[in-house]
């Protein structure tokens, strides 16, 4: 595949390649949480220890993402994407055969490092390929990741759960397919950087910030608060939803992983919706409706039977996931000259919140039971009310 772009036009070939790269990255990363029931039974782990695994993985990703974003803002490198996938492959292979808790923590840290490289750099390339349709481009990129996150548990149910944890290594070999997808992107980006360096490409012009410094800081603080609420609640689902289904409804590990796929599949659909709507009506309204709109479904879910639980989990994933593309683009438009740093900061913060939340929730589940924790978490989406205080950048959106 050869990728070409035209100035001012959206490059679908580049966006699709970036989405596929995101798909393979997040699919392989989702294997970690999908095999938690196997890890728990194999090594007699507590819920607190399960939470600590998520914390270790997410901390590795969150700490390095803004660092990588800032580094690659200053010194872009076209071949960092496959380097990140190499770390992911190595981590999963070690996880498949690890026989101690410490080695498991080390393996998931390598996987987190792989994610910290992909997200900020691929987000920058998504912006280059957008042709001004940044919400649409971010949704295409993000839906690749969300679809991968959904497929990960399905692969675990079909290829790992029936045969044992060692089969994680076989699934990890899909990282090489991901690298093949990335190489055309690398070649295009290398040519782009050479053209810019020689003055043949379009010279970058420093763009003005849409808000004053104080307003920008306040808006970023609100966005981070919204990321906090979104990923605190998401942590209760991605890390413990399978255990909740097993305990409350007595389903098998394989069935719980298929139902996790249903929830994560809904997040992929929601991501497609959020970006383009934000392009048309403004990011603020999408963010507000997405996070606060999740609250009714979240509040109902701990109190219903099996089939309504599956329906409500689908609706939660659908509505809640539409916020993230809008949040990322809103943040990038606040700081238009620091795309990599901004993307790394928000992806990193999201990963960090998810990791810390999973660790805290694991401890609470050990103490109070998973049902009580799910009831408490159902109130978290109400924090979406703070989106009311975001400045409206709709006019700015249209200018871009």
Measured CA to CA, the distance from residue 114 to residue 91 in angstroms comes to 9
Measured CA to CA, the distance from residue 55 to residue 51 in angstroms comes to 6
Residue 171 has pLDDT above 90, yes or no: yes
Phi then psi for residue 285, to 5 deg, are -70, -35
Question: pLDDT at position 14, please?
Answer: 92
Provide the terminal-to-terminal Cα distance of the chain, rounded to the nearest Å: 29
Q: pTM for this structure? A: 0.71
Among the listed residues 3, 10, 22, 73, the one whose alpha carbon sits nearest the alpha carbon of residue 332:
73
Range of lowest pLDDT (100-109, 215-224, 228-237): 228-237
Q: How much is the mean pLDDT over the chain?
A: 85
Give the rounded percent of residues in the chain with a pLDDT score beyond 90: 32
Residue 398: pLDDT band by 50, 70, 90 thresholds? very low
pLDDT of 28-81, one tens digit each?
A: 998 998 888 889 988 999 989 998 898 898 888 877 888 887 887 778 887 889
Residue count (the chain): 400
CB 387 within 8 A of CB 292: yes
From residue 205, alpha-carbon distances to 121, 209, 336, 397 in Å are: 20, 12, 10, 18
Among the listed residues 164, 162, 223, 174, the one whose alpha carbon sits nearest the alpha carbon of residue 353:
223
Domains of the chain are: 12-198+209-399 (1.20.1250.20)
Residue whose structure tokens are 């000259």: 337
pLDDT of 269-297, one tens digit each?
A: 888 787 778 777 777 888 888 888 999 99
Instruction: Tell me the two tokens of residue 19.
Output: 């989405």
Residue 172 has pLDDT above 90, yes or no: yes
């Amino acid at each position: 595949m050869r990728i070409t772009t035209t100035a001012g036009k959206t490059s679908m070939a580049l966006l699709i390649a970036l989405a596929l790269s995101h798909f393979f990255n997040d699919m392989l990363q989702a294997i970690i949480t999908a095999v938690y029931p196997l890890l728990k039974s194999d090594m007699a782990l507590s819920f607190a220890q399960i939470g600590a695994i998520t914390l270790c993985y997410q901390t590795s990703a969150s700490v390095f993402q803004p660092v990588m974003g800032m580094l690659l803002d200053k010194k872009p490198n076209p071949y960092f994407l496959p380097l990140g996938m190499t770390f992911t492959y190595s981590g999963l292979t070690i996880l498949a055969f690890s026989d101690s808790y410490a080695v498991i923590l080390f393996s998931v840290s390598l996987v987190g490092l792989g994610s910290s490289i992909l997200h900020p750099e691929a987000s920058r390339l998504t912006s280059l390929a957008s042709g001004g349709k940044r919400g649409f481009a971010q949704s295409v990129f993000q839906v690749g990741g969300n679809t991968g996150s959904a497929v990960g548990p399905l692969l675990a149910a079909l290829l790992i759960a029936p045969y044992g944890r060692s089969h994680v290594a076989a699934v990890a070999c899909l990282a090489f397919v991901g690298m093949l997808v990335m190489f055309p992107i690398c070649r295009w980006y290398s040519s782009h950087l050479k053209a810019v360096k020689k003055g043949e490409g379009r010279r970058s012009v420093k763009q003005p910030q849409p808000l004053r410094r104080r307003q920008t800081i306040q808006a970023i603080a609100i966005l981070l608060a919204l990321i906090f609420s979104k990923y605190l609640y998401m942590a209760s689902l991605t890390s413990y939803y399978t255990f909740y289904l097993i305990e409350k409804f007595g389903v098998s590990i394989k069935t719980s992983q298929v139902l996790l796929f249903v929830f994560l599949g809904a997040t992929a659909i929601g991501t497609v919706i959020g970006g383009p709507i934000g392009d048309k009506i403004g990011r603020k309204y999408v963010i507000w409706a997405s996070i606060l709109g999740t609250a009714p479904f979240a509040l109902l879910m701990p109190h219903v039977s099996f089939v309504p639980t599956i329906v409500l989990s689908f609706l939660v994933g659908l509505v809640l996931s539409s916020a993230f593309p809008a949040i990322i683009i809103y943040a990038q438009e606040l700081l238009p000259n620091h795309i990599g740093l901004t993307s790394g900061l928000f992806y990193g913060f999201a990963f960090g919140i998810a990791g810390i939340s999973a660790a805290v929730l694991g401890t609470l589940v050990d103490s109070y039971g998973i049902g009580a924790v799910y009831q408490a978490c159902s109130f978290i989406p109400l924090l979406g009310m703070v989106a009311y205080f975001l400045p409206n950048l709709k006019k700015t959106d249209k200018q871009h």
